[in-house]
Amino acid sequence: MFLFRKGEQRLSVDEARALTTGESPEAVLLDVREKSEWEAGHAPGAVHAPLTGLVAGAALPQAARCRPLVVVCRSGHRSRQAAELLAARGADAVDVKGGINAWAAAGHPVVDERGNSGSIT
């Protein structure tokens, strides 16, 4: 069963957060930025899978397999590409409008690789 309708519009950061947090999140927040960006700051609970790896054919991390995916990058460009790529592979994927920049601007938490307060690079 798919959570998102095929061709669904982009999600706002508030919609993304609502779907990917809590005790039983409906979807996985998939961050497709590069390693250095991820390490500097990402949403708590997000799963990391760089777009460069996905384009090269890398498999999704186990935590993101067979789950609806809410895809995020820095500004929304790479996440749109990744969501389209993943949807073409049969995944239930939609991207976040404005990316992690909009996430942080909305006051949603960002942590670094150690779980401390993170930053967006």
Residues whose CB falls within 8 Å of the CB of residue 2, separated by 6 or more in sequence, listed in order: 68, 92
Q: How far is CA 71 from CA 87, 116, in A?
A: 11, 22
Structure tokens at 51: 């777009």
Q: Which residues are catalytic?
A: 73
| Spatial distance between the Cα atoms of 58 and 56, rounded to a whole number of angstroms | 6
**58 touches 48 (CB < 8 A):** no
